[in-house]
């Protein structure tokens, strides 16, 4: 299950929620694959549900929709551990 990110803007550094997500991703020492969706909230929700219907991901495993610097745009991501057959390709 992916870690639920709850980034908040930091007034001291003017860090946006998207900056917090990027910072978290680059600091993580876990070897993992990420699927990142950025777009309009309705589109992001639609893709998450389509991936669920296709049995690729579970809706509950995605991070909450986080606003980006652009109005009417959000980011959501899911983390998958590396390993298994795909690493040998």
- 52 inside domain: yes
How many C-beta neighbours within 10 Å does residue 31 have? 9
- 87 inside domain: no
H or E segment and range at residue 47: helix 41-53
Share of the chain above pLDDT 70, in %: 64
Can you give the pTM of this predicted structure? 0.64
Contact assessment for residue 44 and residue 30, using Cβ atoms and an 8 Å cutoff: no
Tokens of 29: 């020492």
- 2 inside domain: no
The count of domains in the chain is: 1
Give the range of the structural domain holding residue 56, as residue numbers without chain letter. Answer: 17-82
Residues 67-88 pLDDT 10s: 988 999 999 999 887 776 555 4
Task: Give the separation between CA 89 and CA 80, rounded to whole angstroms.
Answer: 17
- 41 inside domain: yes
Mean pLDDT confidence for 36-59:
96
- Phi, psi (deg, nearest 5) at residue 73: -135, 140
- 1 inside domain: no
- 7 inside domain: no
**Average per-residue pLDDT in the chain?**
78
Task: Give the separation between CA 5 and CA 65, rounded to whole angstroms.
Answer: 10
- 21 inside domain: yes
- 51 inside domain: yes
């Amino acid at each position: 299950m992916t870690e639920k990110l709850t980034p908040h803007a930091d007034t001291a550094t003017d860090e946006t929620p998207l900056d917090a997500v990027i910072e978290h991703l680059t600091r993580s020492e876990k070897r993992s694959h990420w699927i990142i969706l950025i777009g309009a909230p309705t589109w992001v929700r639609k893709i998450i549900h389509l991936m669920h219907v296709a049995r690729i991901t579970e809706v509950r495993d995605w991070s909450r929709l986080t606003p980006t610097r652009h109005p009417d745009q959000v980011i959501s991501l899911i983390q998958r551990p590396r390993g298994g057959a795909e690493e040998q390709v």
